[in-house]
Amino acid sequence: MIVQRLLAASIALSFCITIAHAQNFPDLAAGHYKWVAMTSNDPLPPNMLGGGICRVAMHGGVHPGKILADKRSCNVAWGNFGNDYHQFEVFTGDVEGIWWPIQDGIPMNPRPRYHLVGGHLEDGTPIYVCKANDPNKGTHIGKLVGQNCNVEWGGKELIFSSYRCLYNLNPDSVIENP
């Protein structure tokens, strides 16, 4: 059973890497995604995606972060700190058609049209959803800032040059409340 799971995970990862580097992505069925507004008093949606992607309106823009399930809050890295917000939006929808391919070595400029926009800066510049892994602190969702993924951990903003971006493999899919 364990060998079958490892083989399946290996095949899935190989597929993600192949897709991330391909010129033409496969035409997947259009997914339906939605940013759902909620507060810390609301139950977390059962169809939240990507391990708990959230976003918050702050500093004139909208910034992606990670759900802290125990607090039911959205945790966003900003200004060298981690901040918990109790009014936020959660990314929900069909799991089909979104991937976390390995990002290392893929140039960010120009931006692939498949990166999921998780928010924007005050001037309208898009912010993309990413996640990074620290061997001692685990994997955390954050936001792409320049060539790095900025995440919150332990009340601080951590910066990673090795990361993954969330891809929407069908850019024609419907995303409500972009």
Q: What is the per-residue pLDDT across 17-44, written as a single tens digit (0 to 9) for each?
A: 323 322 222 333 345 788 999 999 999 8
Is 81 in a helix, a strand, or coil? strand
- What is the model's pTM? 0.75
Query: How many domains does the chain divide into?
Result: 1
- Percent of the chain, pLDDT > 90? 31
Q: Which domain, by its residues, includes 62?
A: 2-176
HSE-up of 67 (CA within 13 Å, CB side)?
A: 25
Closest-CA residue to 38 (of 92, 77, 79): 92
Q: What pLDDT digit, counting tens, does each position of 39-80 carry?
A: 999 998 888 888 899 999 999 999 999 999 888 899 999 889
Q: Is 115 helix (H, G, I), strand (E, B) or coil?
A: strand
C-alpha angle 102-108-114 in degrees, rounded to nearest 5? 70
What is the model's pLDDT at position 164? 85
